[in-house]
Amino acid sequence: MERKGSFTALLITALLVLVSALQREYFLVTEPASWNDAQQYCRSHHTDLAFIHTKEEANNVSALGNGNLVWIGIHRDTQNHTLWYWSGRRTSTFTDWESGQPNDREGNEDCGSAKTGGGWYDLPCDKKINFVCYQETPKVVLVKENKTWEEALEYCRDQDSDLPSLLSEAEQSSAKKTTSEAQTSQVWTGLRFLAGQWLWVNGDGLEFQDWPAGEMPFCPARYLHCGTLDKEEEHWGTRDCKEKLNFLCVKKWSD
């Protein structure tokens, strides 16, 4: 019972943690696209649409637009139109809305953009404009020790790290390169089935997914409740959380 309570505490703590990279770079894409198409492009070629959490980053991103509006990753919550969140459900307390924004002037302005010399503006998501992607270079390390999923989580946390989230094709590709040196065929990631749903243990959104055959296992077998990355296969795997595997850790920092 004490062990179960300890694990529950770890999960609660995780929801208050932002796991990210140590370095973030931004790239302007001068191919006008809708917000959704821009998001798909960024996830395929970089990490995601621009994620911003400081004024300095906001200035750097808006300057890339050269005076024009460019898509960034912030968008309106479809369930609560008073709330905005970032692509991938990344969290940040920082916002840089221009005075009077967001105003939802056309009644469908659910996606955010940035402009040089100004702040952020809400626009219809189907509007086609240039956009800014970001690329993170996570400090992902492979731990060549065989541990259960919970033991791996505790190990990473003790090292001021965490089990990683894989939020884009680019992040997954980077993690797979690290995984290639593993001594086990699969390695633990931060993916966990809990309370009837799959989630990243640190609270990141599960928007990018790479399940075999593209199908999320909504009712996984009783013991297959922890996520893995395979050395050979391209897609995510699920294993018994009590198995002992190598695992990945990623550095973390708070907003």
Q: What is the pTM of this model?
A: 0.60
What was the pLDDT predicted at 15? 32
| Residues facing 133 on adjacent strands | 27, 49
Last residue of a domain, one of 73, 108, 136: 136
Tell me: do 143 and 96 sit in the same domain.
no
pLDDT at site 137: 65
153 and 132 fall within a common domain: no
CA angle 68, 69, 73 (to 5 degrees): 145
pLDDT at 208: 84
pLDDT tens-digit series, residues 89-105: 776 789 999 999 999 99
Q: Is the peptide bond before 212 cis (omega within 30 degrees of 0)?
A: no
- Mean pLDDT on 70-75: 97
User: Is 18 a member of any domain?
Assistant: no
Mean residue pLDDT of the chain comes to 86
Domain boundary among 72, 105, 136: 136
Longest dimension (CA), the chain: 59
Does 100 share its domain with 149?
no
Q: pLDDT value at position 253?
A: 46
- Residue 82 is predicted with a pLDDT of 86
Distance of alpha carbon 251 from alpha carbon 255, whole angstroms = 13
State whether 121 and 199 are in the same domain. no
Co-location of 238 and 152 in the same domain:
yes
Identify the band that residue 181 occupies on the pLDDT scale cut at 50, 70 and 90: very high
Distance from C-alpha of 3 to C-alpha of 7, rounded to nearest angstrom: 6
Tokens of 48: 């995601």
